[in-house]
């Protein structure tokens, strides 16, 4: 049996009093955490049907992590929903995932419009969980699915991806071998657990036997206070968090390992952080929800090859292919294909509920990122074929925003693009053909989209350029707005 929680029992026996989770208000030991997760697993096993999909619509907290790991231990699939999503965004993802039960708080439950859901309020669930056995002895196969996350998909329609226990346990080997994080580490998780970078950081650290410091929301000041107060050795971040910490201009005079993902870490930021974090080891990796780890740029390599995303991770193969799906030579740009034991099982079909694999016959997978390998074996990313906008640590698919804007009767055509931003990496902008008032379009976005997806700039044009196949030509659209005036 190899699952993401299979080491908890061993840790509870060998190091029962070691702190597993530390928050601002309390500490949870290994033995306490094992009992909490076992009780949760037994409770979930008793209330779920054959579907065994548990929806978690909770703020980032110990409770979120308890439900996620409890679901995994019980053989359920945990489908996670962002507390920041608007009702329309949430409804679309609930329709795709169809959880047998949805666990949420009294406050968040008010935002649910689908009354056919089997909803359990967390405040009630806590009492029920306490009545269950504090041990778990059922065998769960490693190929069992345990995690359902969401992407917006290339059409703007949410897609649910599925990961197995084996895929994450294989990723834990990368944490050991590529990032050199183990049971001796004390790890800060400063970001929301709905984001897989932080969720993985927490779950992998608990699996390996380390201690995590869990923050319910990000604060640069509090992160720096934690680093000074506690024996912190590892910090999971995204580049925007680094910028916020740099603005505090505080020196950190102790060894610290930073693991960054979610967006390209700019070279100027890397130089600045070395001036404030005096004994720093930096690790930056490239990956995807579907692929897990792909490449890692180590501390020393960061100094020599800062423009790349590193070399392949432990047990990862990379191939760059042309339009004919043939491998191409070093230095040539093509589509990035990955093969490893860490890739996901596939996407959930919205109607049949079957898992649809995107592996080719030899086990290779691509998420359509474009890049090239250099002579020294370093991977360079040059673009994202499906127009994805990388806003901080969050992937934004323009098609989702375009679908919302096209709902306005006076919008004839729309193109949403990502443009460079010194802080966020990229921000979404909207290029509109039609007579819709900007005020009404902004209101439409406020109602239907999370704040980070709402366009930051608005351009109104008489005509949008098209390709020969009739699609909007995004490159030419980008050139077009250089001569247009943004409408306030």
The conformation of residue 242, written as its DSSP 8-state character, comes to H
pLDDT of residue 385: 60
Within the chain, which residue ranges are assigned CATH 3.40.50.12780?
8-373
Residues in Cβ contact with 260 at an 8 Å cutoff, skipping those fewer than 6 apart? 237, 238, 239, 242, 282, 283, 284, 285
End-to-end CA separation in angstroms for the chain: 59
pLDDT at 264: 67
Report domain 389-481's class. alpha beta
227: left (phi over 0), alpha (psi -120 to 50) or beta: alpha
Give exposure, 291-300, as e/b (b: 16+ Cβ within 10 Å): bbbbbbbbee
Q: Which residues pair with 249 in a beta bridge?
A: none
Judge contact between 294 and 312, C-beta under 8 A. Answer: yes
Label residue 262 exposed, middle or buried (CB < 10 Å: 0-12, 13-18, 19+): buried
> What pLDDT was estimated at residue 156?
57
Structure tokens at 448: 């239907």
What is the rounded distance in angstroms from the CA atom of residue 469 to the CA atom of residue 467?
Answer: 5
- CA 331/CA 378 separation, integer angstroms: 10
CATH 3.30.300.30-classified regions of the chain:
389-481
User: Tens of pLDDT along the chain (488 residues)?
Assistant: 589 999 999 999 999 999 999 998 899 999 999 999 999 999 999 998 888 999 999 999 999 999 999 999 999 999 999 998 888 889 889 988 999 999 999 999 988 877 688 999 999 999 999 999 999 989 999 999 999 998 865 555 678 999 999 999 999 999 999 999 999 999 999 999 999 999 999 999 999 999 999 998 999 999 999 999 999 999 999 888 898 999 999 999 999 999 998 766 767 778 888 899 999 999 989 998 899 999 999 888 887 887 788 999 999 999 999 888 899 999 998 899 999 999 999 999 877 778 999 999 999 999 988 889 999 999 998 766 667 788 887 878 788 898 899 889 999 889 999 988 888 989 999 999 999 999 999 999 999 999 999 999 999 999 888 765 467 888 788 888 876 666 65
| Distance separating alpha carbons of residues 279 and 350, to the nearest angstrom | 49
How far apart, in whole angstroms, are the C-alpha atoms of residue 188 and residue 45? Answer: 31
Distances (CA, A) of 232 to 228, 268, 361, 457: 8, 25, 44, 40
Give the ranges where 364-465 is alpha helix by DSSP (H): 398-405, 438-448
Strands 411-421 and 425-434 come out as antiparallel
Q: Rounded to an integer, what distance in angstroms lies between the CA atom of residue 235 and that of residue 221?
A: 14
pLDDT value at residue 374: 94
CATH class of the 8-373 domain in this structure:
alpha beta
């934690």: which residue's tokens? 226
Q: What is the pLDDT of residue 470?
A: 61
Tell me if 145 sits within 8 A of 345, measured CB to CB.
yes
Query: What is the phi/psi pair of residue 368, to 5°?
Result: 70, 25
pLDDT at residue 356 in the model: 92
pTM, whole model, 2 decimals? Answer: 0.85
Measured at the CA of 239, the angle between CA 249 and CA 160, to 5 degrees, comes to: 150
CA neighbours closer than 13 Å in the CB half-sphere of residue 227: 25
Nearest to 59 by CA among 81, 26, 43, 87: 81
Helices (H), 132-282: 165-177, 196-208, 220-229, 239-246, 267-276
In 3-state terms, the chain is what percent helix, strand and coil (to 5)? 30, 30, 40
d(CA 368, CA 347): 15
Sheet holding 19-22: strands in order across?
A: 27-29, 19-22, 211-214, 186-189, 234-237, 252-260, 277-288, 292-297, 311-312
């Amino acid at each position: 049996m190899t699952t993401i929680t299979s080491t908890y029992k061993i840790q509870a026996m060998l190091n029962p009093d070691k702190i597993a989770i530390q928050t601002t208000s309390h500490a949870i030991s290994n033995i306490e955490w094992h009992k909490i997760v076992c009780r949760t697993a037994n409770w979930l096993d008793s209330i779920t049907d054959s579907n065994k999909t548990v929806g978690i619509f909770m703020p980032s907290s110990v409770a979120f992590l308890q439900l996620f790991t409890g679901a995994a231990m019980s053989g359920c699939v945990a489908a996670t929903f962002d507390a920041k999503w608007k009702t329309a965004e949430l409804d679309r993802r609930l329709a795709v995932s169809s959880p047998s039960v949805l666990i949420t708080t009294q406050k968040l439950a008010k935002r649910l419009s689908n009354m056919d859901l089997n909803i359990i309020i967390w405040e009630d669930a806590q009492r029920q969980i306490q009545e269950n056995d504090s041990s778990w002895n059922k065998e769960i196969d490693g190929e069992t699915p345990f995690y359902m996350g969401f992407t917006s998909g290339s059409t703007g329609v949410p897609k649910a991806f599925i990961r197995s226990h084996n895929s994450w346990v294989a990723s834990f080997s990368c944490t050991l071998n590529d990032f050199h994080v183990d049971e001796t580490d004390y790890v800060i998780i400063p970001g929301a657990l709905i984001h897989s970078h932080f969720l993985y950081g927490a779950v992998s650290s608990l699996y390996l036997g380390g201690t995590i410091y869990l923050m319910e929301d990000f604060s640069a000041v509090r992160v720096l206070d934690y680093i000074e107060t506690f024996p912190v050795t590892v910090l999971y971040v995204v580049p925007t968090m680094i910028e916020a910490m740099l603005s505090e201009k505080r020196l950190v005079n102790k060894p610290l390992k930073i693991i960054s993902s979610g967006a390209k870490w700019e070279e100027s930021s890397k130089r600045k952080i070395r001036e404030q974090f005096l004994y720093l080891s930096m690790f930056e990796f490239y990956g995807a929800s579907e692929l897990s780890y792909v490449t890692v740029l180590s501390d020393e390599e960061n100094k020599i090859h800062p423009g790349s995303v590193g070399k392949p991770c432990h047990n990862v193969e990379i191939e760059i292919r042309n339009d004919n799906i043939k491998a191409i030579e070093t230095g040539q740009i093509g589509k990035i294909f990955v093969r490893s034991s860490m890739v996901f099982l596939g996407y959930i079909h919205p109607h049949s509920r079957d898992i649809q694999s995107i592996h080719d016959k030899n086990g290779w997978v691509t998420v359509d990122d474009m890049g090239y390998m250099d002579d020294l074996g370093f991977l360079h990313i040059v673009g994202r074929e499906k127009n994805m906008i990388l806003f901080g640590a969050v992937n934004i698919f323009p098609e989702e925003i375009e679908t919302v804007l096209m709902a306005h009767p006076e919008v004839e055509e729309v193109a949403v693009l990502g443009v460079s931003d010194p802080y966020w990496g990229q921000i979404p902008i909207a290029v509109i053909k039609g007579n819709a008032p900007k005020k009404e379009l902004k209101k439409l976005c406020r109602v239907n989209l999370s704040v980070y997806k709402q366009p930051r700039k608005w351009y109104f044009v008489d005509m949008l350029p098209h390709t020969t196949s009739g699609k909007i030509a995004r490159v030419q659209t980008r050139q077009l707005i250089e001569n247009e005036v943004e409408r306030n």
